[in-house]
Amino acid sequence: MEDVRFAVVGYGNIGSRHVSFLKGLEGARITGVCDIVPERADEGATIAGCESVYSFDDVLSRDDIDVVNLCTPSGLHASQAIASMRAGKHVLSEKPMALTLKEADSIIRTEKETGKKYFLVKQNRYNPPVSILRDMVVSGKLGRIYMISSTVLWNRNMNYFREGEWRGTLDLDGGALFTQCSHFIDLILWIGGEALSVNAWMDNVAHPYIEVEDLGHVRIDFKNGCAGVLSYTTAAYGRNMEGSLMVLGEKGCIKIGGKYLNEISDWSVEGVEKPEIPLGAPANTYKGGYQGSMSNHDKVLNNVIGVLSRDEDIAVTSVQGRESVEVMQAAHLSDVLRRRIDIPLGEEEKAFDTRKREPLGTHWSKQG
Ligand SMILES: NC(=O)c1ccc[n+]([C@@H]2O[C@H](COP(=O)([O-])OP(=O)(O)OC[C@H]3O[C@@H](n4cnc5c(N)ncnc54)[C@H](O)[C@@H]3O)[C@@H](O)[C@H]2O)c1
């Protein structure tokens, strides 16, 4: 079987992870590393043993690329995904899928029109404790689910926001919900099912020099009667404190904790002992010294190869990605309008653009 040929676009923190995982992966070959900063493209291409590419348009015109890995700033994901599929390439996009529902819908339309495949990185679904928790819910062992609660207490400081011009901007970052917490929204929806409404409140408490929120609370009510709550911040003092997910059901309660959903921290389930969990992958650690989610990108990349070479199913579909975008857009709209927003969004609500909301930082300026 032919190797799947990947081009990594954006050789920053996560792009370098894509390259290192792809290098050791059976069935994969890297045929290009692209960055608009030439030294970064060169660094990645040297490690990958392939050609450097200095502009995204040059990636599109190449005919030795099957999959474009989008590791660029969040606000570029949608337009670059659409352009890649139109140029005949499959797409593996880093989260978030898009910053607006309109963009997510365009991606799904383009996928249908071009027949190209769209994959989304939601690697936390592979964390051993997360998959055990989901199995307990889906198999009915927790009974009816009353409540899902997730807490993200992470630290992103001035060094982090100065690391890239795009960080902390409404246009390219979209805020802590979109950029840091879309994994957690994905998991809440993966467990809770179909959302019915969203209520949210956001603020910027500790990063006046960025446009976006650094703290928020999102309540999601589900069709099955369960309520989900996400409390999140990037203003935790000094370091990441917690990234947790708790599910409370009729027959038990399970909490997954640690700093990045890597431990079962509480387990009380009728007739089921707490399982021993396999040691998961460590967290992604980035150049700036901060940590992110568990590093399961090899599993995501294996799914891409499996779908393209062996006709396997896509692990996270564009439709599932869209569900997260809809809830995150609803959360921003709820914060702006100070009211509950029903899901699915109506036509006017669909047109709401998070990029155009008022900045939340009090003296927004990249200079601080
Ligand atoms: N799955 C995860 O857990 C995870 C972890 C970290 C980041 N991410 C996502 O990955 C994306 C990138 O984050 P990062 O921390 O690596 O950012 P980064 O700033 O470290 O890297 C982005 C890179 O993209 C390059 N770039 C910008 N515009 C470009 C263009 N038009 N064409 C080619 N290259 C371009 C920049 O020069 C930079 O090198 C974000 O959307 C983020 O949400 C996901």
The proportion of the chain whose per-residue pLDDT surpasses 70, expressed as a percent, equals 93
Under the banding of pLDDT at 50, 70 and 90, the label for residue 368 is: very low
Residues 294 and 261 sit within 8 Å (Cβ to Cβ): yes
* C-alpha–C-alpha distance, residues 216 and 234, integer Å: 10
Pocket probe for ligand 1: among 16, 72, 79, 316, the residue whose CB has the most ligand atoms within 8 Å is 72
Lowest-pLDDT range, 63-67, 100-104, 273-277, 283-287? 283-287
**Atom 23, ligand 1: residue with shortest CA distance:** 10
- State the SS3 of 5-48: EEEEECCCHHHHHHHHHHHCCCCEEEEEEECCCHHHHHHHHHHH
Instruction: Kindly tell me if the per-residue pLDDT of 366 is higher than 80.
Output: no
Condensed to tens digits (0 to 9), the pLDDT of residues 252-289 reads 999 998 767 888 999 999 999 999 886 655 555 655 55
Q: Which atom of ligand 1 is nearest to the CA of 15?
A: 16
* C-alpha–C-alpha distance, residues 205 and 361, integer Å: 8
CA–centroid distance, residue 336 to ligand 1 (Å):
28
pTM: 0.94
Whether residue 34 has its Cβ less than 6 Å from ligand 1: yes
If you average pLDDT over every residue of the chain, what do you get? 93
Whether residue 81 has its Cβ less than 6 Å from ligand 1: no
* C-alpha–C-alpha distance, residues 329 and 148, integer Å: 20
CA–centroid distance, residue 10 to ligand 1 (Å):
5
CA–centroid distance, residue 87 to ligand 1 (Å):
21
**Atom 6, ligand 1: residue with shortest CA distance:** 14
Whether residue 19 has its Cβ less than 6 Å from ligand 1: no
CA 79 to chain centre: 17
Amino acid 27: pLDDT: 96
**Atom 28, ligand 1: residue with shortest CA distance:** 72
Give mean pLDDT, residues 30-43.
98
Lowest-pLDDT range, 1-15, 81-95, 259-273, 317-331? 259-273
* C-alpha–C-alpha distance, residues 108 and 45, integer Å: 31
Condensed to tens digits (0 to 9), the pLDDT of residues 203-231 reads 999 999 999 999 999 999 999 999 999 99
Whether residue 177 has its Cβ less than 6 Å from ligand 1: no
- Sequence spans of domains, the chain: 4-123+297-318, 128-293+322-356
Whether residue 173 has its Cβ less than 6 Å from ligand 1: no
Amino acid 252: pLDDT: 97
3-state SS assignment for residue 302: helix
**Atom 21, ligand 1: residue with shortest CA distance:** 12
Whether residue 40 has its Cβ less than 6 Å from ligand 1: yes
Condensed to tens digits (0 to 9), the pLDDT of residues 139-188 reads 999 999 999 999 999 999 999 999 999 999 999 999 999 999 999 999 99
Amino acid 280: pLDDT: 55
- CATH 3.40.50.720 holds for 4-123+297-318: yes
Burial 265-301 (b: 16+ CB within 10 A, else e): eebebeeeeeeeeeebbebbebeeebbbbbbbbbebb
Give mean pLDDT, residues 88-103.
98
Whether residue 80 has its Cβ less than 6 Å from ligand 1: no
* C-alpha–C-alpha distance, residues 254 and 269, integer Å: 8
Q: Which atom of ligand 1 is nearest to the CA of 56?
A: 32
Amino acid 363: pLDDT: 60
**Atom 39, ligand 1: residue with shortest CA distance:** 12
> CATH code for 128-293+322-356?
3.30.360.10
- Per-residue tokens: 119: 């994959």
* C-alpha–C-alpha distance, residues 235 and 213, integer Å: 10
Whether residue 169 has its Cβ less than 6 Å from ligand 1: no
